[in-house]
Amino acid sequence: MSVQERKERERAARERLIVATARELAENQGWDAVTTRRLAERIEYSQPVLYSHFRGKREIIGAVALEGAAEMAVALRAATAAADGPRSRVTALARTYLDFAERNPAVYDAIFRLDGGLAFAVEDTPEPLKDAFAALLESLGEVAGDGVHPALFTEVFWASLHGLATLTRAGRLPAAEADRRVELLVDRLAVV
């Protein structure tokens, strides 16, 4: 059965190549530039090959989203682990979140803005997404304040960060005062 195993390995490698190429293309030229034709050309296969791995473009976005969510969770945990005390953990968390969104705009969009066909906030939400939320919850839960449900607080804080991230990048907010906005947000929302 070694032949079949080799084929499966090669197939898995090609699938990773598709996701990585889609991500790179999206990051360099935006998701609009990620067309099935261009993607197929980059991986040096024909279009229909993409459809033997994914149902369609939306699922490719979803795959990039899952990969990105896992990375984001790692980044958030690394940042908070390096900080002392609840307050500085929250600040580090917020900065890291916004930094991730700014450095990986296409991946961020795949996770939080585009339709990747993923389920959110329900039973069968994919693990990486649940875990990214868990990473937020770990640090934010400890500054929710008395009588406030940690998950609810996390949702509000997360939504605020998301708003800052998207409005800033869309040019709706001037980039200049970004740091002062984060400071204000943490000051007011977190109970330390």
Partner DNA sequence: CTCACTTGTCTAGCGGTGCTAGGATCGGGT
Partner DNA sequence: ACCCGATCCTAGCACCGCTAGACAAGTGAG
Which spans of this chain sit near DNA (rule: CB under 7 A)?
A: 3-4, 7, 11, 34-38, 45-49, 51-52, 56-58
Q: Residue 144: enclosing H or E segment and its boundaries?
A: none
CB atoms within 10 A of CB 48: 9
Cβ closer to DNA: 50 or 144? 50
Distance (Å, whole) CA 54 – CA 50: 6
Distance (Å, whole) CA 192 – CA 90: 10
CA–chain centroid gap for 62, Å, is 10
Partner whose footprint covers residue 66, from DNA, a copy of itself, none (CB < 5 to 8 Å by kind): none
Confirm if 21 and 36 have CB atoms less than 8 A apart.
Answer: no
Q: How far is the CB of 37 from DNA (least distance, A)?
A: 4
Partner whose footprint covers residue 57, from DNA, a copy of itself, none (CB < 5 to 8 Å by kind): DNA
The mark string for 55-94 relative to a copy of itself (x by CB under 8 A, - otherwise) is ----------------------------------------
- Give the pair of three-digit tokens for residue 188: 């007011």
Provide the binding-site residues for a copy of itself, judged by CB under 8 A.
112-113, 119-121, 148, 152-153, 155-156, 158-164, 166-167, 170-174, 177, 180-181, 184-185, 188-189
